[in-house]
Structure 1
């Protein structure tokens, strides 16, 4: 856990470098409801029964519907806003993800949250590339539900 006030607000490359290796978080808990899972299924047109059919899922080895892995991953930006703000930069953007894994399911009714660690910040053409390890955990579980490396780009204000 960090001793920083959250969200941290780096505004320069040097301030980002000081954050490398420090864990930020956790975020606030997020409730995973069937309504949210169904909305994600509708938005992505992924209506696989383990996500959207509570009756059928109840008789599965998982015992209930589960959130899509990509649903949990898609919460990364929302969670990140609670941990770090790039408003001191001219602009920022999501550049992508590396090494995404979904080690454990997220049953409906779960609560999840994220911890984040900046693992690198490097100057690249046109800005700074920041790689952050994101670990999403489920309340009551020792195993994370998402482990991913998020890659972002920021541009220092002039």
Structure 2
């Protein structure tokens, strides 16, 4: 369920808190293949279904960077700031891929706001920790600390 804030200040009041959890996202082979085409990463564990099924993970797996690239989708479905016209990715502080993501599995993000600081043009720079849960797995698929700038 999407968590809605009226202003960036309202969201900034949540520093140190778990802010939202996204809906589940199913990872498909079509997504994996499109990501391979876009990035040129055609490693067989991602795109050769027959070989990957016989491989170490028992199925094709999503690229780690595909999992990471779901951050905007996770945020869009989980957090809204009514009086914010745009947000931009500013960078990443730390990323870890802790579990492979088999095609057909489901992911969701648990989002925690680590910090919020003012920047030029009335913007706010926020550091988020997103734990990308892999349904049924003992460890998350990914934990990423991302830096985002939002503007009213």
> Could you tell me the TM-score, scaled by structure 2's length?
0.91
Aligned to 1:6: 2
Instruction: Report deviation, 1:18.
Output: 1.4
Aligned to 2:73: 78
CA contact (8 A) 1:64 1:107 kept: yes
CA contact (8 A) 2:8 2:124 kept: no
Instruction: Decide which of 132, 135, 138 is 1:136's aligned counterpart.
Output: 132
What does 1:1-158 correspond to in 2, within 5 Å? 6-13=2-9, 15-126=10-121, 127-156=123-152
User: CA 1:131–1:49 in 2, change beyond 3 Å: closer, same or farther?
Assistant: same
- Structure 1 unaligned spans of 5+: none
Higher strand share: 2
Please list the CA deviations of residues 74-99 of structure 1 after superposition, one character each: whole Å capped at 9, or x if unmatched.
01001101121234124321112110
SS class of match (2:4): coil
> Could you tell me the TM-score, scaled by structure 1's length?
0.88
The alignment's C-alpha RMSD in Å is 1.5
CA contact (8 A) 1:8 1:85 kept: yes
CA contact (8 A) 2:2 2:22 kept: no
CA contact (8 A) 1:138 1:145 kept: yes
- Structure 2 unaligned spans of 5+: none
